[in-house]
Structure 1
Amino acid sequence: MSDLTITPVTTKRERKAFVDLPFRLYKDDPHWIPPLKGEALGLITPEKNGWYSHAKVQLFLAREGGRVVGRISAHIDTLALTMPADQGFGPGVGQWGLMDAEREDIFVALLARAEAWLREQGMTRALGPISQSVWEEPGLLVKGFDHAPTIMMGHAKPEYQGWIERAGYEQVKQLFTYELDITQEFPPLVKRIIQSGEKNSRIVVREVDKSRFEEEAAIILAILNDAWSDNWGFVPLTPPEIKDVGVKLKPIVFNDLIRIAELDGRPVAFMITLPDLNEAIAPLNGSLLPFGWAKLLLWLRRPKVRTMRVPLMGVLKELQSSRMASQLAFMMIEYIRRASVERYGASRGEIGWILEDNQGMRSIADTLNTTVNKVYNIYGKAL
């Protein structure tokens, strides 16, 4: 008879055990990127993650024979509860994520414990995996196990898909990432669209100014919260989240990799590109000691990377159905492509994630001759 127990995480030591578990479970997976343990702890520590200002979270650990053999997070985003139900969240919808287990029976037991906690909080439906905010690492990897994820994208064991589906969950949404060879120029049609935009005196596509970080972040946030507001799963980013994300990402923010497009002097679109930090931290095995910090600081001075990731871009809703929207997008993508190749030595770009029903962004990706390289599923179940 199994001595499996599942208990809530209540101490710093248990949070550390929660973070440590994947290092053992994925130690033989060549495509798993060990996160910096300090960063991983920060994500599950309320005082260090602004998302907790509007979220209620319970972490659980599974133990067997005194060993930690599984983990899960059950959580409720109070802002998500206020969103329209037809956008995925809404009243009564809780989430789970950060889930790993040695075996399927442990996985199922953890899911049941998370579901019980959500029911105790009055939830009637569960979505997952969402680890933990929709802005962090949503979805379960179901395609693309043969290469490592880029910065802020998740990885998982292939068997998890079957485990989740056999537990009664149904797929509700797919997220795609697209890759492309950025050393190659874009197709002639895209070039003509860009050249036309460059002749339009109403359009200015500028670099951000990192010395005015908070001001530039506010501009991008305003466009983002408008541009994404009708998307499935949208929850507005809040000032505490922006502050914490800014602290975390500022070291890998470079002026020439983030662009703001202005129309008649008004900011209407943006594109954020990040050098793939995973390439730098992969050899560190989660620790900056004894010399990892020096290597990382040296890399951050001027990264030389293979891959650049575009995690976010957006155009104000009033322009989204216009030709102008795609023109601004192509202009920003091209200018950042040039900088990525010429100044950072990059050869590969990754765009995403992109929702399966975001036809505008998927059309832009298709026009650039990209290829879907990873697919993530989000699942749902009535409680």
Structure 2
Amino acid sequence: MIIVEEVQSKDQKREFLEFPAQLYQNDKNYIRPLDRDIEDIFDPEKNKFFREGACKRFLFKNNNKTVGKVAVFISPNYQQKQSTGGLGFFDCINDQETANFIFDYCKNWLQERGMEAMDGPINFGERDKFWGLLIEGFTEPLYGMNYNFPYYKDLFENYGFQIYFEQLCFTRSIFAEVSRVFTIAHERNRRNPAISAKPMKKNNLGKFAKDFTEIYNKAWASHGEGKQLEEAKVLRMFNKMKPIINEHISWFVYENEKPIAMWINLPDLNQWLKYLNGKLGMFEKLQFLWLKRFKKNEKMVGLVFGVVPEWQKKGIDGYMIWEGTQHLRKHTDFTITELQWIGDFNPKMIKIAEMLDTTVTRKLATYRYLFDRNKEFERHTIL
């Protein structure tokens, strides 16, 4: 008989963090997320989504042994065609009956609060972390990315979940041949004295935050689900990222000092954090600094890429990529770059990724379960 425990006590919070580590202890590709990153999501003082939403965590035990866990939540910020709640941070033994019990529990919890569907596994927060179920490419996850056993796909789909959208991750070797289209574009723009490329520097984050905001808002604000960014918010984000910024891998392009393009990358933190077992106390912070200084990190993560409208289709992207690639090949240890996921509902972004000579090496899926089983299922609208 399965017993349900709401996560409230210190011991229950610890079990919520430790259960996945026990479950994946023999999986060489599993990288334990930082405990702090998980706990912050469930802290009302740190997660703004608690202001209007609600979230609960549960442990599921059989014979006093944990066999599964989940978080279930509602948020008015998560606006869908029908009232839709979410479940996330799902982990479970390889047993369909146990998974069905967990999914039923989530369904009932959400129905009691007026929901008509549930999506998962998603995050009680933004889409940039802990979003989606891994269905292809079972390799070491990027920092903030979900990782799970292949059998999770069957647990979800056997229950009745359907893929709402796929999340595609594109990868490229730093030393792979660069497209001739890019090198030609680079040569053409290089001869233009008004055009220059500059790497982002830590000692001038204010300027680069301003330039990033200007480029992003022009390039993406009217594109699909894009929204205007505020310079102050971008500067706070840059300052938070400052300890891990690598000054060789994020680039801006200017026309007579006017920002026209940017390519933002960060080192994949998981290549260092995988040695810390989810902890980040004083000792682990010192260990992290040592690893960052002496342990080669060969993977970087592509976060944002943008060109202002008046410079699109003029080869400025090729100029920037080849300029930056030549530099980072000489000055860093990176050998591979992986782009943060792109939804299959966003063909324009997918086309941009493909133009960068990348290949899909990882897929995640956001699943949806409609409570009314007679209602027609619809995938995410194409942008």
TM-score scaled by length of structure 1? 0.83
1:358 aligns with 2:346: yes
1:106 aligns with 2:110: no
What are the residue-to-residue correspondences of 1:148-297 with 2, within 5 Å? 148-201=140-193, 203-213=195-205, 216-217=208-209, 219-220=211-212, 223-224=215-216, 227-228=219-220, 249-263=241-255, 265-288=257-280, 291-297=283-289
**From 130, 133, 137, the counterpart of 1:137:** 130
- Matching residue's letter, 2:143: I
Gaps of 5+ in 2: 372-383
Provide the rounded CA distance (Å) in 2 between the counterparts of 1:123 and 1:186: 49
User: Which is higher, the Rg of structure 1 or of structure 2?
Assistant: 2
**From 9, 31, 39, the counterpart of 2:37:** 39
Provide the rounded CA distance (Å) in 1 between the counterparts of 2:43 and 2:370: 29
Structure 1 residues 276-295: Cα deviation after superposition (integer angstroms, max 9, x where no partner): 22111222222346854323
RMSD of aligned alpha carbons: 3.2
**Bigger mean CA offset, 17-26 vs 105-114:** 105-114
Match of 1:312 in 2: 304
Deviation at 1:265, TM superposition (A): 4.5
Tell me, yes or no, if the aligned pair for 1:259 and 1:272 is still in contact at 8 Å: yes
Tell me, yes or no, if the aligned pair for 2:167 and 2:342 is still in contact at 8 Å: yes
Structure 1 residues 250-285: Cα deviation after superposition (integer angstroms, max 9, x where no partner): 321223322234456544443221112211122222
Tell me, yes or no, if the aligned pair for 2:248 and 2:331 is still in contact at 8 Å: no
- Matching residue's letter, 1:135: D
For 2:104, what is the secondary structure of its paired residue?
A: helix
Structure 1 residues 210-260: Cα deviation after superposition (integer angstroms, max 9, x where no partner): 234466446535654665556777688899987886576332122332223
**From 363, 366, 376, the counterpart of 1:375:** 363
Gaps of 5+ in 1: 82-88
Provide the rounded CA distance (Å) in 2 between the counterparts of 1:53 and 1:214: 30
Report sequence identity in percent: 24
Structure 1 residues 39-92: Cα deviation after superposition (integer angstroms, max 9, x where no partner): 3322332323455456432222212222322111222343332xxxxxxx3562
Provide the rounded CA distance (Å) in 2 between the counterparts of 1:245 and 1:127: 28
1:122 aligns with 2:120: no
Match of 1:16 in 2: 14
1:27 aligns with 2:25: yes
Counting matched residue pairs gives 369
Tell me, yes or no, if the aligned pair for 1:80 and 1:90 is still in contact at 8 Å: no
Tell me, yes or no, if the aligned pair for 1:50 and 1:243 is still in contact at 8 Å: no
Match of 1:333 in 2: 321
Provide the rounded CA distance (Å) in 1 between the counterparts of 2:327 and 2:215: 23
Match of 1:97 in 2: 88
Tell me, yes or no, if the aligned pair for 1:49 and 1:244 is still in contact at 8 Å: no
Closer, same or farther in 2 for the Cα pair 1:155/1:304, shift >3 Å? same
Tell me, yes or no, if the aligned pair for 1:208 and 1:258 is still in contact at 8 Å: yes
Closer, same or farther in 2 for the Cα pair 1:168/1:270, shift >3 Å? same
**From 59, 69, 73, the counterpart of 2:71:** 73
Deviation at 1:140, TM superposition (A): 0.9
Tell me, yes or no, if the aligned pair for 1:310 and 1:350 is still in contact at 8 Å: yes
For 2:184, what is the secondary structure of its paired residue?
A: helix
Closer, same or farther in 2 for the Cα pair 1:308/1:31, shift >3 Å? same
Tell me, yes or no, if the aligned pair for 2:170 and 2:339 is still in contact at 8 Å: yes
Higher helix share: 1
For 2:182, what is the secondary structure of its paired residue?
A: helix
Tell me, yes or no, if the aligned pair for 2:181 and 2:318 is still in contact at 8 Å: no
Structure 1 segments of 4 or more deviating over 6 A? 230-244
Tell me, yes or no, if the aligned pair for 2:121 and 2:131 is still in contact at 8 Å: yes
Provide the rounded CA distance (Å) in 1 between the counterparts of 2:213 and 2:49: 15
**Bigger mean CA offset, 277-286 vs 300-309:** 300-309
Structure 1 residues 11-42: Cα deviation after superposition (integer angstroms, max 9, x where no partner): 44433221221101111111011222233322
Provide the rounded CA distance (Å) in 2 between the counterparts of 1:106 and 1:232: 39
Provide the rounded CA distance (Å) in 2 between the counterparts of 1:225 and 1:52: 28
Closer, same or farther in 2 for the Cα pair 1:157/1:337, shift >3 Å? same
- Matching residue's letter, 1:139: G
Deviation at 1:192, TM superposition (A): 0.8
Closer, same or farther in 2 for the Cα pair 1:244/1:24, shift >3 Å? farther
Closer, same or farther in 2 for the Cα pair 1:243/1:194, shift >3 Å? closer
Provide the rounded CA distance (Å) in 2 between the counterparts of 1:352 and 1:294: 28
Provide the rounded CA distance (Å) in 2 between the counterparts of 1:229 and 1:319: 15
